[in-house]
């Protein structure tokens, strides 16, 4: 049965590559709703989410009323991407102006000439990792920089992202493993090759997967190849995508790599979607069906963890449970982006899931008139957890709005 499905999938997509993108059936009443929603989200992003320098402010702690910086580089990169997608739909000049402002902050992180990390970015992870640089804190945000160069015609944004990606390939990539090291100390330039800072790895026998991952989130090397034409980036990107296929579990996830956790069975709300998005980029680049098939496996897995309301939780578990303290709007929107991309390729299995994601995103947006200006117009994502000292944390995460803008803009451009 599975072989029959794959044959039909391959045949259908081969035909569809010569046709236009499949249009998603959406009532015209959604047109004005999406425009209004995006303008509210743009207003939130430009007035609350981004600080005066253009940096994404991270997590808004609703009890204290304070923002806490967290993985600012990639959060800012995603904000740029979301703003630019929303700009295409709304023609709201604030979106473009603030995307440029955010891009200028992002490229200011580049280590200068003569530094031991010249060309790389001082992209501090924050939170428990402090000032350590995590590879994905850079790559998760780079699509926004390439988009910004495309929209403005100014190559400096793509050029800085290219320099960072070159440094990763030259210094962090392990060809025989097809993985890249995760952690670099920005103060000492030390690459962490023998120890992991992550709690889930402590006390376990050391493996290379504790300190290195595919790190293909944001498909940076693919974008560098498109930007420069240099084939070494294409080859490295496809090598890592082949590694993704080799390491993908039958259930569609990648359980060997944090932030998934094979010990507890925890599945992260977004991590697997990043990998599937990269696999779709590999498919577009090569037209090789193996990449598409692997992406579809993840799309099916995401459909299984989506709730009846459209929600996807920050943490789900292999036993079917979910951490229902943390509804993850960014995971909903990101899954919606993946499902919609597959729909455009003629794989319409996820129409219901896309519709649920659209409605969840629209219905769960803070009012533009919300009394707390830090939340007004934001898309919904809440994390709740208890600290060891008994303090409860409840906070909104800015990336919900960035992914929400991307998703609804993609829906609008497809349907209307």
Q: How many residues does the structure list for the chain?
A: 416
Helix (H, G, I), strand (E, B) or coil at 67: strand
| Per-residue b or e along 302-318, where b marks 16 or more CB atoms closer than 10 Å to that residue's CB | bbebbeeebbbbbbbeb
R_g of the chain computed on alpha carbons: 20
pLDDT of res. 164? 98
Domains of the chain: 2-415 (1.50.10.10)
**Contacts made by residues 263-268, CB under 8 angstroms, sequence distance 24+:** 263/200, 263/204, 264/200, 264/317, 265/317, 265/318, 265/319, 266/315, 266/316, 266/317, 267/305, 267/315, 267/316, 267/317, 267/318, 268/314, 268/315
pLDDT of res. 11? 47
- One DSSP character per residue, 170-206 reads HHTEETTTTEEE-EEETTT--B-SS----GGGTTSPP
pLDDT of res. 15? 46
pLDDT of res. 18? 42
pLDDT of res. 13? 56
pLDDT of res. 388? 85
Distance CA 41, CA 49 (A): 10
Residues sharing a CB contact under 8 Å with residue 125, sequence separation 6 or more, in sequence order: 71, 131, 132, 133, 134, 137
User: pLDDT 10s digit of each residue in the chain, 416 long?
Assistant: 555 555 445 545 544 544 589 999 999 999 999 999 999 999 999 999 999 999 999 999 999 999 999 999 999 999 999 999 999 999 999 999 999 999 999 999 999 999 999 999 999 987 777 789 999 999 999 999 999 999 999 999 999 999 999 999 999 999 999 999 999 999 999 999 998 887 788 878 889 999 999 999 999 999 999 999 999 999 999 999 999 999 999 999 999 999 999 999 999 999 999 999 999 999 999 999 999 999 999 999 999 999 999 999 999 999 999 999 999 999 999 999 999 999 999 999 999 999 999 999 999 999 999 999 999 999 999 999 888 898 889 999 999 999 999 999 999 999 99
DSSP H helical ranges for 45-141: 72-90, 93-107, 135-139
Residue 203, number of CB atoms within 10 A of its CB: 6
Residue 371 gets which letter from DSSP? S
Structure tokens at 342: 């597959």
């Amino acid at each position: 049965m599975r072989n029959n499905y794959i044959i039909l999938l391959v045949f259908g997509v081969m035909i569809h590559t010569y046709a236009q993108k499949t249009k998603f059936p959406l009532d015209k009443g959604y047109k004005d709703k999406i425009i209004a929603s995006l303008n509210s989200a743009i207003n939130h992003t430009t007035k609350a989410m981004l600080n005066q320098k253009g940096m994404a402010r991270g997590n808004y702690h609703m009890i204290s009323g304070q923002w806490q910086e967290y993985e600012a580089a990639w959060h800012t990169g995603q904000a740029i991407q979301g703003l630019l997608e929303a700009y295409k739909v709304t023609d709201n000049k604030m979106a473009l102006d603030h995307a440029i402002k955010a891009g200028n902050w992002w490229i200011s992180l580049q280590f200068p000439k003569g530094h031991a990390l010249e060309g790389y970015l001082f992209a501090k992870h924050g939170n428990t990792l402090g000032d350590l640089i995590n590879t994905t804190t850079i790559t998760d945000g780079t699509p926004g920089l390439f988009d910004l160069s495309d929209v403005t015609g100014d190559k400096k944004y793509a050029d800085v992202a290219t320099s960072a990606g070159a440094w990763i390939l030259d210094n962090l990539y392990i060809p025989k493993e097809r993985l890249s090291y995760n952690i670099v100390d920005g103060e000492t330039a030390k690459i962490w090759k023998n120890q992991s800072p992550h709690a889930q790895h402590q006390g376990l026998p050391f493996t290379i997967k504790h300190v290195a991952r595919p790190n293909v989130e944001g498909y940076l090397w693919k974008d560098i190849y498109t930007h420069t034409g240099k084939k070494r980036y294409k080859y490295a990107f496809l090598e890592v995508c082949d590694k993704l296929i080799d390491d993908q579990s039958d259930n569609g996830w990648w359980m060997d790599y944090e932030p998934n956790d094979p010990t507890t069975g925890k599945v992260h709300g977004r991590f697997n979607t990043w990998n599937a998005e990269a696999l779709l980029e590999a498919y577009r680049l090569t037209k090789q069906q193996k990449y598409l098939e692997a992406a579809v496996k993840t799309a099916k897995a995401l459909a299984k963890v989506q709730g009846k309301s459209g929600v996807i939780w920050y943490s789900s578990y292999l036993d079917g449970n979910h951490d229902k303290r943390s509804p993850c709007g960014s995971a909903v929107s990101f899954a919606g982006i993946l499902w919609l991309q597959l729909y455009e390729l003629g794989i319409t299995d996820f129409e219901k899931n896309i519709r649920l994601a659209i409605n969840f995103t629209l219905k769960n947006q803070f009012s533009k008139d919300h009394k707390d200006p830090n939340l007004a117009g934001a898309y919904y994502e809440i994390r709740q957890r208890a600290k060891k000292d008994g303090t409860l944390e409840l906070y909104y995460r800015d990336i919900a709005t960035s992914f929400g803008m991307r998703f609804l803009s993609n829906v609008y451009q497809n349907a209307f």
